[in-house]
Structure 1
């Protein structure tokens, strides 16, 4: 509960700090706000489960673990934002305020105990992201991305609300515990098609948020058009919160009808893996490749949800952390490199922009290499163990066929992740030495160190939830 209250207050404070004469105070203030919220989050560790806001919000170790991933990711992303000084028309206070408010929505999604709380969290997060996606008002790509995201998000919200209405009609409650009781007792001997329809519609709305196929069509264009810093925010924090919400919904309320929904999630997981990995192989833009990469990683996380067990819960937490660390590094390097060259007035986000990167920027090339290896699931990185835990959870559940598909798709991923590594080390290019701000470098070093640490010692996080 503490992060919700603190971030709500800090978001308002950040907006008022925008009236100060010096804009330089905004970045350190926002980082301090996030650090305080992170400390407040773990204050309740091992004290739950606790219920707040008229029993609509649940705090337990799983909630706090996902909150921690979201807040750490937000801290790193804000730290590499550079104060939004590149855009002369930018209003940093508004951006930081919206980012803090969006975190409130993400945390509400993670810990919801009532469907209305879930809806409020989704909308608080989504509205902030619609605005941030279109924040570069002079860029037509940013405007187009914001419009697409808003329109398709509105349709997804409609599906989600309709699903909630049907679930209320079937169970007589929005409370997850009451829904669970209905599913395991009243519903046990008599299938309710209204309940099934409501669950499917609600899942459609949630799967849109995490870029699962076939609800992924917005993802490549929105990722490409949005300012890269907000794309980073979207690809890590929104995805983590979305999967935490889906897992809580299915595990807490609908485990009694697992036989109904698991095959639906499994089919969507396979389709997502196919679309994400095959789509990424044909991209010439590194940023669009990361968009399709995000789709594919949604497929891997859906496999863990399909397994639905204690090991899969731990796998989702570990995988979300590993994916967030690697993605922040990848987008962080992209922001630095793409500013050095322009194509038709836009930052160069193609693979060719990385040609010869290692010659004058060995540190950046190394960080990029580690992040790509982790996303590809290569051993000695956190990404390898994330996939390993997910595959073993599915195998333990007896769903061998989906594990085989996932392993095959992982081999496809090696192709497009290694393209940028090859460009950095083996292609001829003229990327000049890039100046990296000291704190920016600290964040890249920290994320890379954690990626390698969790790759070498994955048991560090074992048993903490």
Structure 2
């Protein structure tokens, strides 16, 4: 509750700060707001609070996911200094929208009522539509925003139909009430069609938000067309909030053995499709940014394994993996921002209008980076190793924990598929490492601000620490 209040007020204040002649205060003010929200989040640790007439419940698990979301947002905002130098950008509005989107993410994480889940999804989604199309001079950004909006609207409609059917079957919108109604139906040996259709429609709407196959088609174009900074925000904050919401609804509503048997088969097929399609397609990508889009889809598949092997251990596994994935993804996109910024922007004539084309975002953009700037090369290497799941990184233990949940449920064949796809992932992640260390680089000098460098190094150190001592995080849960 406290983070929601802090972020809401901070967003409004930032809009007013945007009227100041100097933009220098915007970035530190936003970072300070995120720090205050994080402190407020953990202020009531080991306590459970219910707000708004059982609409929102905040406990330790919710605080951990909220903390991951706020940490991800802090790092993304810390990398946004270039917005202050762009005369055409509106940083006050961008920062305010990001803070408002975090309010939606918190609602998704701590919801107790499906209506609160819907409100949270819409707040987060509308903010993402705006940020995706914020680069108004770029046709790809405009196209990405339109695709995201149209497909998101259809997914929201399916989600609402599912909620309505669940209410018709159980007579309540609260997830605890739905869970009790499901248990009562199992004892009475009744299985209303409304319950199962509503359950599947609800899951489809939520799986779209986390870009699981076959609901992933929007992801590559949206990630590729969005400004890189907002792509980093989208691929971490939205995914973490989405999986926290999925974990909550499955654990509370549909964890009964009889109901579990229905949805787990469908979710298992979706998991396999997500892993295979994402990893195989990522191999053929020439653009680093599109590769990261398919990488995001593949990591959704790994997180789905934690839901298929649904146990109490799934909570810590999904939370740990979300943190590991967020740290590595932000580091990767942060270095991409630096590489792209170091190259000149070219003017291209399209029709009768002059537009600005983006610098190269292919793998070749990283050629010789490790020799030109060893610190950035090391940071990117650790990020790629963690995403690939190599030992002594947080990504390895994240996959290990998720795979363990599948083994506990006897889904060894699913584990085999996941391991094979992880091997495929090593190929396209190591393409970046090879480009940095074994190919001739570019002559441009990459300048890194001190605080920017500090954030990248902090993310790298945390990735290594969690890879060496993963128990530090698990003790929180």
So what's the TM-score if we normalise by structure 2?
A: 0.96
Which residue number in structure 1 is paired with residue 267 of structure 2?
265
For 1:352, what is the secondary structure of its paired residue?
Answer: helix
Which residue number in structure 2 is paired with residue 352 of structure 1?
364
Q: Take 1:102 and 1:19, find their aligned partners in 2: how far apart are those partners? A: 22
Q: Take 1:456 and 1:289, find their aligned partners in 2: how far apart are those partners? A: 28
Shift, 1:433, TM fit: 3.0
Shift, 1:187, TM fit: 4.1
Q: CA contact under 8 A between 2:135 and 2:227: conserved in structure 1?
A: yes
Shift, 1:90, TM fit: 0.9
For 1:425, what is the secondary structure of its paired residue?
Answer: helix
Which residue number in structure 1 is paired with residue 315 of structure 2?
313
Which residue number in structure 1 is paired with residue 59 of structure 2?
60
Q: CA contact under 8 A between 1:18 and 1:94: conserved in structure 2?
A: yes
For 2:24, what is the secondary structure of its paired residue?
Answer: helix
Which residue number in structure 2 is paired with residue 458 of structure 1?
470
Q: CA contact under 8 A between 1:326 and 1:451: conserved in structure 2?
A: yes
Q: CA contact under 8 A between 1:24 and 1:83: conserved in structure 2?
A: no
Q: CA contact under 8 A between 2:317 and 2:398: conserved in structure 1?
A: yes
Are 2:423 and 1:411 aligned? yes
Which residue number in structure 2 is paired with residue 381 of structure 1?
393
Which residue number in structure 1 is paired with residue 342 of structure 2?
340
Q: Take 2:85 and 2:16, find their aligned partners in 1: how far apart are those partners? A: 22
Q: Take 1:152 and 1:311, find their aligned partners in 2: how far apart are those partners? A: 33
1:440 to 449, 452, 455: 452
Shift, 1:346, TM fit: 1.1
Q: CA contact under 8 A between 1:27 and 1:83: conserved in structure 2?
A: no
Which residue number in structure 1 is paired with residue 163 of structure 2?
164
Q: Take 2:128 and 2:434, find their aligned partners in 1: how far apart are those partners? A: 34
**After the TM superposition, which residues 104-253 of structure 1 pair with which residues of structure 2 at under 5 Å, given as runs?**
104-188=103-187, 189-253=189-253
Q: Take 1:431 and 1:292, find their aligned partners in 2: how far apart are those partners? A: 30
Shifted more, 324-333 versus 262-271: the winner is 262-271
Which residue number in structure 2 is paired with residue 99 of structure 1?
98
Shift, 1:88, TM fit: 2.0
Q: Take 1:265 and 1:295, find their aligned partners in 2: how far apart are those partners? A: 15
So what's the TM-score if we normalise by structure 1?
A: 0.98
Cα deviation per residue 1:67-122 (whole Å; 9 max; x = unaligned)?
00000010010000115135321111100000000000000000000000000000
Q: Take 1:10 and 1:4, find their aligned partners in 2: how far apart are those partners? A: 10
Q: Take 1:388 and 1:14, find their aligned partners in 2: how far apart are those partners? A: 42
Q: Aligned pair in 2 of structure 1 residues 284, 182: CA closer, same or farther (>3 Å)?
A: same
Which residue number in structure 2 is paired with residue 275 of structure 1?
277
Are 2:86 and 1:87 aligned? yes
Q: CA contact under 8 A between 2:372 and 2:441: conserved in structure 1?
A: no
Q: Take 2:84 and 2:207, find their aligned partners in 1: how far apart are those partners? A: 34
Structure 2: gaps (5+ residues): 349-356
For 2:57, what is the secondary structure of its paired residue?
Answer: strand
Which residue number in structure 2 is paired with residue 16 of structure 1?
16
Shift, 1:397, TM fit: 1.5
Cα deviation per residue 1:220-242 (whole Å; 9 max; x = unaligned)?
00000000000000000000000
Q: Take 1:310 and 1:273, find their aligned partners in 2: how far apart are those partners? A: 23
Q: CA contact under 8 A between 2:23 and 2:84: conserved in structure 1?
A: no
**After the TM superposition, which residues 293-312 of structure 1 pair with which residues of structure 2 at under 5 Å, given as runs?**
293-312=295-314
Q: CA contact under 8 A between 1:358 and 1:364: conserved in structure 2?
A: yes
Q: Take 1:83 and 1:177, find their aligned partners in 2: how far apart are those partners? A: 45
Q: Take 1:161 and 1:363, find their aligned partners in 2: how far apart are those partners? A: 48
Q: Take 1:191 and 1:340, find their aligned partners in 2: how far apart are those partners? A: 61
Are 2:290 and 1:288 aligned? yes
Q: Take 1:83 and 1:310, find their aligned partners in 2: how far apart are those partners? A: 43
For 1:58, what is the secondary structure of its paired residue?
Answer: strand
Cα deviation per residue 1:306-365 (whole Å; 9 max; x = unaligned)?
111122211000000000000000000000001223576212110011111112111111
Shifted more, 356-365 versus 79-88: the winner is 79-88
Q: Take 1:360 and 1:407, find their aligned partners in 2: how far apart are those partners? A: 34
